[in-house]
Amino acid sequence: MNSPAHQRMDRTMTSRRTIARTLPLLPAALAAFPSTASAAGGGETALVVTGLLTAVVAVLLFYVVFVLEGNIDPAAERLRKAWAYIAARKRADERELDEDFDGIRELDNPSPPWFNYLFVGTIIFAAIYMLDYHVLGGSPLSVEEYRREVAEADVLRRVALAAEGTVDEAQLAALTDAEALKAGKEKYDRNCVSCHGAAGQGIVGPNLTDARWIHGGGVRNVYLTIKNGVPAKGMIAWKLVLTPKEMQQVASYVLSLQGTNPPGAKAPEGEVWVEPKAAAAPDSTKAI
C-alpha cells in the first residue's frame, strides 16, 4: 500500500485538491491589487506598484502550479522554519541553565537573532558610510552640500539681477510714483524697521526723517549708504539682499519720510544736507 507509486498518487490527489481550493481566489486577488494600488497614490506610482504586484502574483502562481504541482505544504514548512529561525531561538523557558538558588532559576534567554542582525547591520552600515563619506569622498558632507546650495543660489540671484536690469547710479532719481513708494515701504517694513523704527524715527540706526545726514542726503547718497551699508556700525550692505531696483525704491521711500517729524524721534545726527546745484558732478568721494 505504501509503495512509491501510491505515494505519488496521493500527492497528486492532494495537489489537485489544493489547486481546486486556491484557484477561484486568484482572479479576485488579481482584481483587488490594481484598485488598492491606485488608491495608494494614483498616477505612475500606482502603475509601478500594480505591475510589481501582478508580477509577484504571476511568479507565485507559476511556482505553486508548475514547480510544487499544487502542493504548497513543503514550501509552507520551509517558510515556517525560516521564520522561526529569524524570529527567535528556543523559548527561554525551554533553555534553563544549571543554576538554582533556593528555587530561583536562571534562564538562558538569548537576544533574538533579528536583533543581532540589526546590530551587525548598523556596524556594516557605519563602515560603508565612513568609506563613502570620509575616505573616498563619494558623497558630499554637509559643509560641501551647503557650499553647493549657496553657489546655486548665487547663480539664481545673478540671473534674477540680470533679468531685472541695473539702475544708473550716476543718473539716480528719487521715484515719486505711489506704486514705487509702496514697494519701497514694503521693503522698509520688512528690513529696516528693527533699527530705524516704523516711522523712520530712529532706534539703533539714526533718525531718517530729519534734514541731517551722517553719510550725505539726496537720493544718490542714501542709495549708496543702503547699498554698501555701514558694516562697522551694524548696518549691513543691502546689495546682498535687495536688487538695485528695490534699493532705489526703498531709498525713495526713506526720502519721502523727510520732515514727517514722527513722535519719539531720535536727535538729528550729521550735517544738514544741501542738494548741490544740478550742474555739479556726482559725489565722487563715495565708494561704490
233 touching ligand HEC, by CB under 6 A: yes
With contacts defined by CB under 6 A, name the span among 86-94, 141-149, 170-178, 220-228 that binds ligand HEC. 220-228
Q: Determine the 3-state secondary structure of 217 from DSSP.
A: coil
**Residue 197 burial (CB < 10 Å; 0-12/13-18/19+)?**
buried
At residue 157's C-alpha, the angle toward residues 153 and 163, to 5°, is 145
Among 71, 183, 201, 213, binds ligand HEC (CB under 6 A): 213
215 touching ligand HEC, by CB under 6 A: yes
189 touching ligand HEC, by CB under 6 A: no
* Total chain residues near ligand HEC (CB under 6 A): 25
Q: Minimal CA–CA distance to 276: which of 216, 231, 230?
A: 216
Binding mask 139-178 for ligand HEC (x = CB under 6 A): ----------------------------------------
Q: Determine the 3-state secondary structure of 98 from DSSP.
A: strand
Identity of the residue, 51 or 234, whose beta carbon is nearer to ligand HEC in the bound complex: 234
204 touching ligand HEC, by CB under 6 A: yes
Grid cell for residue 232: 562697522
User: Residues near 173 by Cβ (< 8 Å), separated by ≥ 6?
Assistant: 219
Identity of the residue, 180 or 250, whose beta carbon is nearer to ligand HEC in the bound complex: 250
Least distance from ligand HEC to the Cβ atom of residue 269, Å: 6
226 touching ligand HEC, by CB under 6 A: yes
Q: In whole angstroms, what is the distance from residue 22 CA to residue 29 CA?
A: 11
- Beta carbons within 10 angstroms of residue 135's beta carbon: 8
Among 53, 68, 88, 195, binds ligand HEC (CB under 6 A): 195
192 touching ligand HEC, by CB under 6 A: yes
With contacts defined by CB under 6 A, name the span among 56-64, 88-96, 140-148, 201-209 that binds ligand HEC. 201-209
Beta strand ranges found along 56-180 (DSSP E): 96-101, 104-107
Q: In whole angstroms, what is the distance from residue 126 CA to residue 129 CA?
A: 5
181 touching ligand HEC, by CB under 6 A: no
Q: In whole angstroms, what is the distance from residue 37 CA to residue 228 CA?
A: 58
Instruction: Report 23-62 residues binding ligand HEC (CB under 6 A).
Output: none
230 touching ligand HEC, by CB under 6 A: yes
286 touching ligand HEC, by CB under 6 A: no
DSSP annotation of 213: E
**What kind and span of H or E run contains 153?**
helix 142-164
* Positions that interact with ligand HEC (CB under 6 A): 188, 191-192, 194-196, 204-206, 208, 213-215, 222, 225-226, 230, 233-235, 238, 250, 254, 269-270
